[in-house]
Chain A
């Protein structure tokens, strides 16, 4: 499976500021995703990071709040903008190495996560 790293691993930020989280994969992958895991909760998909085009956001998440970049097939960033304490969560990127539409099983592998605390 792919080896995924995230930076930073954790951060404490003041409200009103922004934080950019990086996700790096050791091989080219077709799809990359960003998830949020609020304290004690399950994971919720924020958006799919598309290489060379705008990200696809899930209901309840908007580009102005969570801008995403994906300049190539091994790297993506998620920015949490104008943060409030409600944004305190673990943010995880995941990748899906399999090529869609080939009838093969599709697995997602997760990075170690970034623990964000907003004060």
Chain B
């Protein structure tokens, strides 16, 4: 079974600075997807960024980028120019796709990192 570990329960950063959230995972699969989700106090889960394991290039979405190290099974999220609206719980998630449907498409989540952006 896959496991996802987020070792930082809480982090804080000053507005406009850069912060990196760490995530490691354990799998024997070669093909899989990784995601970062954001859950603000409104509790809406928002997809921030995704990475396909077969791609060597790190994914980037505006101020959000990842450092994907497949051999090390590491998938960290970097947030540049932090904004107050970035304050949220951030979840790292793993998914192993399969040809057929069912639970092979399930997302396995880490326990989350609570990020607070201070003014």
Scan B72-111; emit 1 where CB is below 8 A from any A CB, else 0: 0000000000000000000100010111111101110111
Question: A42-B109, A105-B52, A106-B95 are contacts. A56–B44 as well, Cβ < 8 Å?
Answer: no
Chain A residues bordering chain B, tally (CB within 8 A): 28
Scan B37-74; emit 1 where CB is below 8 A from any A CB, else 0: 10000111111001010000000000000000000000
Q: With a CB–CB cut-off of 8 A, which chain B residues contact A33? A: 105-107
Q: Bound state CA distance, A43 and B105, in angstroms?
A: 15
Q: Bound state CA distance, A24 and B101, in angstroms?
A: 20
Which of A13-21, A68-76, A77-85, A108-116 contacts the other chain?
A: A108-116
CB neighbors of A among B6-40 (8 A) = 33, 35, 37
Establish whether residues B44 and A110, one from each chain, have CB atoms under 8 Å apart when the complex forms.
Answer: yes
**A58 within 8 Å of B by Cβ?**
yes
Scan A88-100; emit 1 where CB is below 8 A from any B CB, else 0: 0010101010001
B interface, CB within 8 angstroms of A = 33, 35, 37, 42-47, 50, 52, 91, 95, 97-103, 105-107, 109-112
User: Can you list 7 A-B pairs with a CB-CB distance of less than 8 A?
Assistant: A30-B101, A42-B91, A48-B105, A107-B47, A108-B35, A113-B44, A113-B45
Extra contacts, 8 of them, besides A31-B105, A33-B107, A45-B103 (Cβ < 8 A), are: A30-B101, A42-B110, A48-B101, A48-B105, A90-B43, A106-B105, A108-B95, A108-B107
Establish whether residues B109 and A43, one from each chain, have CB atoms under 8 Å apart when the complex forms.
Answer: yes
Task: Return the chain A residue nearest B98 by Cβ.
Answer: A100
Establish whether residues B47 and A109, one from each chain, have CB atoms under 8 Å apart when the complex forms.
Answer: yes
Question: A42-B110, A42-B112, A43-B107 are contacts. A100–B101 as well, Cβ < 8 Å?
Answer: yes
**A50 within 8 Å of B by Cβ?**
yes
Establish whether residues B102 and A110, one from each chain, have CB atoms under 8 Å apart when the complex forms.
Answer: no
Establish whether residues B44 and A48, one from each chain, have CB atoms under 8 Å apart when the complex forms.
Answer: no
Q: Least Cβ distance of B100 to chain A in Å? A: 7
Q: With a CB–CB cut-off of 8 A, which chain B residues contact A31? A: 101, 105
**A101 within 8 Å of B by Cβ?**
yes
